[in-house]
Amino acid sequence: MTAARKIEVYGVNDLGEDRLRELIDVDEIPSDFGGSAPSTEQITSGGDKDNDQWSVEVVHVKPRSKSVVSDFVVLKEGEQLSIQVYTRSITGVAVSVFLDDSIVKKVDISQASSVSEFSLDNLPKPYCTEICHVSDPGRYSVQLEDLRDVKSFNKRLPHGCFVVIGHTIRSVVIEN
């Protein structure tokens, strides 16, 4: 399949929202595209400027290697952090979250289906894995380590690319 056949373009009055819902869960689609997630303006501006902050890193993990996002988020007293990883990679990865030099959480993520089920005509759907929720102040780093148990696979299938998203929420103090 050529690259041009993989691209779908929709105008304002087309069926673009319906196609998005076929490909992506409605709670992951921005509200300005018919979903229930924060709007693209909120996401790109950092959400509620007084209470939210978004950190986003695109990470490529090469075979049998590790990639580290140092100082992904610096959490202050009274803040909470949620970390998620989005991908459609057919290869697995171990995601480790560190607070300063101590490991906080390690999660292995991979496609639920067998790699042999995928082809250029049957690509894996994007999926999200919740890694952790933390509230201890300090410098958080994220490490992704390749877990490929597949010796050979079609290199044209999606592999090794991950989006790490951190959502920091500042506590709101209500005064009487």
Q: Are residues 103 and 142 in the same domain?
A: yes
Q: Are residues 18 and 93 in the same domain?
A: no
CB atoms within 10 A of CB 17: 14
Q: Which residue has the tokens 């998620």?
A: 84
Question: Cα-flanking dihedrals φ and ψ of residue 15, to 5°?
Answer: -90, 30
Q: Are residues 29 and 111 in the same domain?
A: no
At 151 the pLDDT is: 61
Q: Are residues 107 and 56 in the same domain?
A: yes
Query: Whole domain around residue 151: which residue ranges?
Result: 50-170
Q: Are residues 110 and 30 in the same domain?
A: no
Q: Where are the alpha helices (DSSP H) in 29-144?
A: 40-44
What DSSP element (H or E) covers 19? helix 16-23
Burial class for 73, CB neighbours closer than 10 Å (0-12, 13-18, 19+)? buried
Structure tokens at 77: 């007293």
Sign of CA pseudo-dihedral 130, 132, 133, 139: negative
At 155 the pLDDT is: 66
Q: Are residues 124 and 160 in the same domain?
A: yes
Q: Quick one: which of 47, 43, 75, 77 has its CA closest to 140?
A: 75
Q: Are residues 28 and 55 in the same domain?
A: no
Per-residue pLDDT of the chain (176 residues; tens, 9 = 90+): 566 666 777 665 556 677 777 777 788 777 777 788 887 766 665 555 566 788 999 998 888 889 899 989 999 999 999 999 998 887 788 999 999 999 999 999 876 566 566 666 676 677 888 999 999 999 999 999 988 765 656 666 667 788 999 999 886 554 55
Q: Are residues 35 and 102 in the same domain?
A: no
Q: What is the model's pTM?
A: 0.66
At 152 the pLDDT is: 59
Q: Are residues 1 and 84 in the same domain?
A: no
Q: Are residues 32 and 73 in the same domain?
A: no
Strand spans (E) along 88-172: 93-99, 102-109, 127-134, 138-146, 161-170
CA distance 32 to 41: 9
Contact 61, 67 (CB under 8 A): yes
CATH assignment of the domain containing 138? 2.60.120
Q: Is residue 176 part of a domain?
A: no
Domain end marker among 15, 30, 45: 45
Q: Are residues 55 and 77 in the same domain?
A: yes
How many domains does the structure of the chain reveal?
A: 2
Q: Are residues 120 and 134 in the same domain?
A: yes
CB atoms within 10 A of CB 38: 18
